[in-house]
Amino acid sequence: MKTVYCIGELLIDFVAEKQGSDLSKADEFTKKPGGAPANVACAIAKLGGDSRFVGCVGFDPFGTFLLNVLEKSHVDISLAQRSKHFTTLAFVSLAENGERDFVFSRGADKKLKYDSGIKKGFNGHMVHLGAATALLGGDLEEAYGRYFFDALTQDAFISFDPNFRGDLWKEEEETFIKKCTTFIEKSHLCKFSLEEAQLLSGEDDIEKACDVLHKKGAQIITVTLGGKGTLVSTANIKTIVPSITVNPVDTTGAGDAFIGCLLYQISSLAHPTAILKDDELLLKMVKKANIAGAITTTNYGAIPSLPTLEQLKEKSEA
Ligand code: ATP
């Protein structure tokens, strides 16, 4: 079993209890652990895989809460850092017009310092870069770029998820696209939502979008399509792998469950890069990862809804 290093942010989402009013009117919030790379680390560990989280939280009680959540999910947090800066907080509400009202108070996540000792562990293992806040500057962006370089030079299997958040990149989409291109060029596996694939390629048509992204260097592309499943695109295939039918109540974290489950399966290969040459196996793995995504939508909250291996097996055999 290979180790998957998940690098990026871990933060608190304060979600307004009463949806349908903007943040100026919301008066009750629920504290939830957030941060896509941390969710992915939990998804892998909950399935029985070996994941390590590399990110930074504050010394405050929110930082303690977040690290406890990861530890309870069996994620190795020995490489996580703490800073005197407060833990990053996001406040979210769905306003009356259906738009997300969002306030982001960025703190410790951007203070992640590059640690040159970590790269030795990358050799032959896997690195997942879930960009979200990592391309927004700060020490985190520098550390991110250096870990990416280390992953390349240490022959790690590299997975990239841009985690585009429109709220964070208003009027700055071109910068986002440029920054992502560096990672797309050299990663073995890219996970996009439909919106991301369209934005990063400049093409509305999903198949053409994949062609543009392959030309940029992307090897395996997965485009998650909610209830419809996942489009898988490699040099030789372009096919939609359907998901299962569920009654979704909250889709938060489905994408993280999907990529976490896919990485978990790849981590069981003697040589993770072997998946680049085995489309048949890739499609089988995506089918299972779709089920992990689907299960996550059937409960509230991202981390509590991630499936265990038993739940995944049960649904796969149903
Ligand atoms: P995120 O919101 O976490 O960024 P995303 O948009 O990448 O995620 P989705 O497309 O919502 O992710 O979901 C990931 C995968 O989970 C899908 O490709 C699909 O296989 C499965 N999935 C999501 N929603 C459903 C659903 N309603 N029914 C069945 N499967 C689903």
Q: Which CATH number do you get for residue 182?
A: 3.40.1190.20
SS3 131: coil
Dihedral of alpha carbons 237, 262, 197, 149, sign: negative
Minimum-distance ligand 1 atom for the alpha carbon of 256? 3
Count up the domains in the chain and report the number. Answer: 1
Whether residue 92 is contained in a domain is answered as no
Minimum-distance ligand 1 atom for the alpha carbon of 224? 18
With the most atoms of ligand 1 within 8 angstroms of its CB, the residue from 243, 288, 296 to mutate is 243
Whether residue 210 is contained in a domain is answered as yes
Structural domain of residue 53, as residue ranges? 3-10+35-82+110-317
Whether residue 99 is contained in a domain is answered as no
Q: Residue with the nearest Cα to atom 29 of ligand 1?
A: 227
- Cα of 243 vs centre of ligand 1, distance in Å, is 9
Residues 77-85 have a mean pLDDT of 98
Whether residue 97 is contained in a domain is answered as no
Q: What are phi and psi of 268, to 5 degrees?
A: -90, -5
User: 95-136 pLDDT, tens per residue?
Assistant: 776 667 888 899 999 999 999 999 999 999 999 998 878 888
pLDDT exceeds cutoff 80 at 68: yes
Residue 282 corresponds to which tokens in the numbers above?
């890739």
- Cα of 76 vs centre of ligand 1, distance in Å, is 26
With the most atoms of ligand 1 within 8 angstroms of its CB, the residue from 258, 285, 305 to mutate is 258
**Average pLDDT value over all residues in the chain:** 94
Question: How is residue 55 annotated by DSSP?
Answer: -
Structure confidence at residue 236 as a pLDDT band (50, 70, 90): very high
With the most atoms of ligand 1 within 8 angstroms of its CB, the residue from 224, 288, 315 to mutate is 224
- Cα of 170 vs centre of ligand 1, distance in Å, is 24
| Cα 164 from Cα 316, distance rounded (Å) | 30
Whether residue 144 is contained in a domain is answered as yes
User: 97-108 pLDDT, tens per residue?
Assistant: 666 788 889 999
| Cα 263 from Cα 285, distance rounded (Å) | 9
Q: Residue with the nearest Cα to atom 20 of ligand 1?
A: 290
Whether residue 196 is contained in a domain is answered as yes
Q: Which residues, in sequence order, are CB contacts of 69 under 8 Å at separation 6+?
A: 33, 42, 303
Residue 237 corresponds to which tokens in the numbers above?
């295939």
* H/E stretch holding 223: strand 220-224
Residue 290 corresponds to which tokens in the numbers above?
């779709």
pLDDT at 183: 95
What is the value of ipTM here, to two decimals? 0.97
Q: Residue with the nearest Cα to atom 5 of ligand 1?
A: 255
Residues 139-153 have a mean pLDDT of 94
- Cα of 226 vs centre of ligand 1, distance in Å, is 4
Structure confidence at residue 51 as a pLDDT band (50, 70, 90): very high
Q: Which residues line ligand 1 (CB under 6 A)?
A: 193, 224-227, 229-230, 243-244, 246, 248, 251, 253-256, 258, 290, 293-294, 297
Structure confidence at residue 292 as a pLDDT band (50, 70, 90): very high
pLDDT exceeds cutoff 90 at 19: no
Q: Residue with the nearest Cα to atom 12 of ligand 1?
A: 255
Whether residue 103 is contained in a domain is answered as no
Whether residue 214 is contained in a domain is answered as yes
pLDDT at 98: 65
Q: Residue with the nearest Cα to atom 9 of ligand 1?
A: 226
pLDDT exceeds cutoff 90 at 299: no
Across 35-39, 76-80, 97-101, 223-227, least confident range: 97-101
Residues 270-299 have a mean pLDDT of 97
Percent of the chain with pLDDT over 70: 99
Residue 204 corresponds to which tokens in the numbers above?
């509305």
